Amino acid sequence: MDYVSAIVPPLVMAIFFIGLVVTIIKNQGGANKAKEDAAVDAAFARAEAAEQRTAE
| pTM listed for this prediction | 0.49
Residue 53 pLDDT > 70, yes or no? yes
State pLDDT tens for residues 21-47: 999 888 777 777 777 788 899 999 999
- Cα gap 9→32, rounded to integer Å: 33
CA distance 19 to 14: 9
